[in-house]
A and B are shown apart, each in its own frame.
Chain A
Amino acid sequence: MDDLAAHLPRLRRYARALTGDRHRADDLVQDTLERALTRSSLWRRGSKLDAWLLTIMHNLFVNQVRTQARQATEALDALPVEPAQRAMQADALEVRDLDAALAALPVEQRAVLLLVTLDERSYEETARILDIPVGTVMSRLSRARERLRQLLDGSAAPALKVVK
């Protein structure tokens, strides 16, 4: 556990892409480090420290997203008026930049895509980090790449009917 600091730059890069937000990313890295230190007995010597840190980070992030989703649902339930459907379509049309496209990917797909492409993890290592079968890594990777391609092309935007 001596060289946590050496892994910080890559952890921060991954967290930044995963969360899409500088402060949230660093909070996530900090939570990951603290969790790693309090659970250091669970780290098996000889296994890769950085992969273990990524596993912790992924689990923390998924829990955060779930909590937020629950809160968002409650907030929506509390709304007196229905949110306008059209606003969501407009959002889809405005998806142009990478951050927004990444944020539009489901978390599970985003994690696979970023581990494989940005962090250059092998498919097998990605599977171990996320604790899923390699086949699932490949299918999520396919979906993530296709979805991202459509988002960046703008072709995922709902077709607009020209109303005369």
Chain B
Amino acid sequence: MNRPLDAELHAWADDRLDPARAAEVSAWLAAHPDEGARLTAWKRQKELLHAAFDPVLDEPVPARLADAAARRAPARAWRIAAAVGWLAIGVVAGYQLHGARHADAAAPALARQAAIAHVVYAPEVRHPVEVGADQEAHLVQWLSKRLGTPLKTPHFAAQGFELVGGRLLPGERGPVAQFMYQDRGGRRLTLYVNSDGDNRDTAFRYAQEGKVGVFYWLDGRLGYALSGELPRAELLAIAESAYRQLNP
């Protein structure tokens, strides 16, 4: 018998030949000990690889991977594009958006409620939050459970704001989460999150309620509103950062 083709030798090592051909190749290998040793080493490699890495199959899957796999694939790309587009328009057109916000009745209510919650709790000196940032994991878990959907806390260290903590608030149609942030100058921001469930997605909108500026947007089940007595451009940069962190 002639030397088998390389492809056949690989198929032999991988147990992919039909039994008759496999027997012929085995006989040829027995008659050619050098090739036989080489092919035996190939088979041995495969056993070593399985022995070394098959235990990974039985490891518990890390939560971050299970979460990533469980996430649905919304039309995220166009939403980001839409948000970026609106941001650009928002920067240029300023208050024109303010007049256009009647397009979605749920959104102005969100902005107003967020602004009210902001002015009520942001001045609090001794009890600004129920659960402090030192227990951030617990805070997120608790509020996620109460809102019935996984929440994330964005971070704004790059903009100079640290998380103070958060609290649970009553909303029109159920529980609402409020996260509070503070910079070194004592200025405070709040991020108000509701889960009304039937929100239509929107891009960023801006509302001014008294001294408080609010950027708000709807994202699937969740409505977000970022409130603060900050220059609008600064608030916008932080809202944009929040959006990116919440929609990585």
Contact = CB atoms under 8 A, between A and B. Distances in A.
A and B interact: yes
Contact of A9 (B16, B41, B61, B72): B61
Binding site of A, secondary structure by majority: helix, strand, loop or mixed?
A: helix
A8 interface: yes
A7 B45 CA distance: 24
A148 B41 CA distance: 9
A41 B8 CA distance: 39
A118 B56 contact: no
B205 to A, nearest CB: 25
A117 B14 contact: yes
Interface string A125-151: 000000000000010011001101100
Interface in A1-20: 1, 4-5, 7-10, 12-13, 16-17
Interface residues of A, number: 38
Given A26-B62, A149-B38, A117 B49 contact: yes
A148 to B, nearest CB: 6
Given A8-B65, A116-B14, A138-B7, A13 B73 contact: no
A141 B10 contact: yes
Nearest to A135: B7
Nearest to A37: B73
A133 to B, nearest CB: 13
A98 interface: yes
A34 B49 contact: no
Contact of B53 (A17, A37, A153): A17
Nearest to B15: A120
Interface string B107-140: 0000000000000000000000000000000000
A116 B14 CA distance: 8
A38 interface: yes
A59 interface: no
B65 A149 contact: no
Contact of B65 (A12, A38, A116): A12
Nearest to A43: B73
A80 B244 CA distance: 41
Contacts of B49: 17, 98, 114, 117-118
A118 B50 contact: yes
Interface of A: 1, 4-5, 7-10, 12-13, 16-17, 26, 29-30, 33-34, 36-38, 40, 98-99, 113-114, 116-118, 122-123, 138, 141-142, 145-146, 148-149, 152-153
